[in-house]
Structure 1
């Protein structure tokens, strides 16, 4: 059974794939016929024969729509085609498919109400560069308000396939099903467009997977293509004769006595994900709180940055998590500088980032390739001002940030993006909305720290950490709180070891 690969292709990359396929001898008409037939198949799996309206635009997306209409009619659906835009200058392939349609057809009339039980959106595809006309936008809104399910071909009309959003602030609407071809595009994995695609199915239309190897300048291209975060690497299987020191020692820097919870969440997660030892380092006033609430996790007093420096001089402490609950200010900046001057791999989260909001260049100068930065969008803006606004999408923003920083950047959200300085990016798609809860990010930071302690590279630790974090959220389910997550890590790791598992 064919399954799509993890590559996320931009509109331009997908156009290049189409060009390469055609140059290999496959006709564009064959691809269009396959696409329309596969969309019809997906519809038939979900809806019985019913009154169906197929909206066909003036481009190749509309050509796909004519094929869908023909195949649905052959299956007993009562199909009407409604043409949108100027069909007097259809592209050759679309024109050829339009000629094969012999059923009912009319031009789009904004005044005519929708009386269908199912709608197929074949108006505009992922390459759209302008917003929908008001009349068409109103049509989709009316269809949605009437609770008529819509099946979108490639992406719901009005969404740019690369930006992951409706163009020019157009009125959002949501499809019941989106069927795309060969590989997903940014709009299928990034929010807000992802939620407006409804169920997303990627189908095979006869493009060989090996065609990706033929993309020009393959060495450079492979470093810039994005991937969906499926089946990330896991720590190496443990030697039966190994001891705890073989599995690394993670240090989590705590905040003051009144704010130790974040560090404790991170430390518990680092231990649960497999670090051999975990120590929480905190100021003197925090030690009683930490000591009374931690058991397998050790505690060290490091009131002054010099004490943290002395601790990290011991090379057995090979990973550091700093930021959760640490407080914003000079003290945190000093501790970050100490951590980054050591040989330990370092996770910078929360306050470790915000403390440099006024001087982000100072932080960038301290960073090393051993670092993982884990900002949410607000923290990202503080360290990389205006980059999100200036970038085509979240993937590109994270990629540029990682290259500037010379370190791995994990840009958190429902569509977490992990970027390596070499340009490789992955998008994590398995995180449930239940993870949007206080302390969830502290758990993620701890998971990554625990994986770094076990010898994983910063990029692998970040992408695997995000994946396991998502699995923990799915296992815990609705009502979860951050304290629940770490205890689900053993099962999450076990699940991740099974090929093809991306959720429950």
Structure 2
């Protein structure tokens, strides 16, 4: 589980490094040395048995170095492991004369200790070691891995999956990636490989200063697995502390009347279809909204005469009814879509659009919106759209196609790019759902929320609960980006608390435990997954 912190693109990371070097505070060689040392330290923390050496049997490592500075990090790793008594083999892709200056310097330092053998791109090899260090490409990969690397990659894949691995077996126990596993686009989490080239991933991925989008998006979590963010002495982010404070306790109420904490409307549908709206309403209550009113058709009122009794009821049959209700300026947010029905949602949209009220548009409301000739006209600025990928494709078909297309170069078009482009186009915040949820604001701010560790959250009604949490936070006065980000975090942590077997009905009643935990935590590690992107 990732902590709340800043996520940097490759360009931002390189700019930070260049600024630090230009200031004279650190040299490129010093940063490379720190990076290599961080990789070795992370390896030994994860596998403490590598601290000591079996009698007469030194630990064995293979370090694969690429043609850029990632390869330079690999040479440092090789040297430091050898100094600890490891038996190390180093292989280089490309010629030493083509290495960047700092990488070449570390190549030469290693050559004073051991040999460097070439990686023959079109030749397979049997790998035999406890640890294979992947320092081939890292975050610098911008074009698909060539198919002539198939022999190299197939050999590594075979070694990783060989049951006779270990210090004397024909295979490797563990793969450690420097920055990202080779073949993974650090910007998008998508694979950059020709044809069906096998990419093996890593048991441990060590990156520097901050996470990159590719660690959190698409195939990234599956291939990176455990990610360690190592501090190599670069300047910190001003955004990170603000997000951690938000996680710790700013959602706590501080006195006041119930109306001081917002009044949310949840628009429900016809008789027999009220379950989704009730899930949203219960979630809005639990997240601290002062009042929550559920608004079904008049004919469906009796469906909602049941607990929780704190839910208020008000019939809404037409857009005129909703418009009259929204004249009460104490109503601070509404949710339209869950279980509402597409036709009903379409009929109520005009009243909402004319009111300027903060709103979450979800499910049927998104489908209704996508059918309009000008779907984004007059959307309230304090609105949040919460599509899954199918709904996103209906609203933004061209962006969905770009996201679906096989990347031909890096950085590949990512889910982060798609959410940002969508938010800019429609002028409101967009939460693009999935295990890698991305929340983006129209001006470009964005946050990534990783929930790959909770597959049981993929259950009917879970999205309705998320819509209700966000609506409640909007009603309480949170800005759309913060409401959606914090809502995604609370939603996921409630699912983590319950564990496998979760159904959506369980989620609202777990929200108070999440809020209590966030108040007690002095770091965001127990509840963090919402990450800013500037």
TM-score, shorter chain, exceeding 0.5: yes
Structure 1 residue 57 corresponds to structure 2 residue 72: no
Higher relative contact order (CA 8 A, sep 6+): 2
Corresponding residue of 2:378? 366
Matches within 5 A, 1:16-415: 16-25=15-24, 26-47=26-47, 48-49=49-50, 50-101=59-110, 102-109=113-120, 110-132=123-145, 133-146=149-162, 148-168=173-193, 170-209=197-236, 230-232=244-246, 237-240=252-255, 242-292=256-306, 294-329=308-343, 331-359=344-372, 362-390=374-402, 392-415=413-436
Q: Is the alpha carbon distance of 1:205 and 1:236 closer, same or farther for their aligned partners in structure 2, counting shifts above 3 Å?
A: closer
> Secondary structure of the equivalent of 2:126?
coil
CA distance in structure 2 between the partners assigned to 1:143 and 1:88 by the alignment: 30
CA distance in structure 1 between the partners assigned to 2:82 and 2:349 by the alignment: 65
User: Which whole-Å deviations, capped at 9, do the CAs of 1:97-143 have from their partners, x for residues lacking one?
Assistant: 11111224422353431111210001111120222222233233223
Q: Is the alpha carbon distance of 1:196 and 1:255 closer, same or farther for their aligned partners in structure 2, counting shifts above 3 Å?
A: same
CA distance in structure 2 between the partners assigned to 1:75 and 1:86 by the alignment: 27
CA distance in structure 2 between the partners assigned to 1:358 and 1:117 by the alignment: 57
User: Does the Cα contact within 8 Å between 1:474 and 1:503 map onto a contact in 2?
Assistant: no
Alignment coverage as a number of residue pairs: 486
Q: Is the alpha carbon distance of 1:445 and 1:191 closer, same or farther for their aligned partners in structure 2, counting shifts above 3 Å?
A: same
Q: Is the alpha carbon distance of 1:395 and 1:124 closer, same or farther for their aligned partners in structure 2, counting shifts above 3 Å?
A: same
User: Does the Cα contact within 8 Å between 1:496 and 1:502 map onto a contact in 2?
Assistant: no
Q: Is the alpha carbon distance of 1:31 and 1:45 closer, same or farther for their aligned partners in structure 2, counting shifts above 3 Å?
A: same
Moved more, 168-177 or 75-84: 168-177
Corresponding residue of 2:10? 11
> Secondary structure of the equivalent of 2:351?
helix
Unpaired segments ≥5 residues, structure 1 = 214-221
> Secondary structure of the equivalent of 1:447?
helix
CA distance in structure 2 between the partners assigned to 1:465 and 1:39 by the alignment: 34
CA distance in structure 2 between the partners assigned to 1:51 and 1:228 by the alignment: 44
Superposed displacement of residue 310, structure 1: 1.7
Corresponding residue of 1:495? 517
User: Does the Cα contact within 8 Å between 1:235 and 1:456 map onto a contact in 2?
Assistant: no
CA distance in structure 2 between the partners assigned to 1:437 and 1:120 by the alignment: 38
Structure 1 residue 475 corresponds to structure 2 residue 497: yes
User: Does the Cα contact within 8 Å between 1:189 and 1:427 map onto a contact in 2?
Assistant: yes
CA distance in structure 1 between the partners assigned to 2:388 and 2:139 by the alignment: 27
Superposed displacement of residue 472, structure 1: 0.7
Superposed displacement of residue 266, structure 1: 0.2
1:422 to 440, 443, 447: 443
CA distance in structure 2 between the partners assigned to 1:122 and 1:461 by the alignment: 39
User: Which whole-Å deviations, capped at 9, do the CAs of 1:260-314 have from their partners, x for residues lacking one?
Assistant: 1100000000001111111111112321111245422122211222222222222
Unpaired segments ≥5 residues, structure 2 = 51-58, 164-172, 404-412, 528-534
CA distance in structure 1 between the partners assigned to 2:320 and 2:250 by the alignment: 32
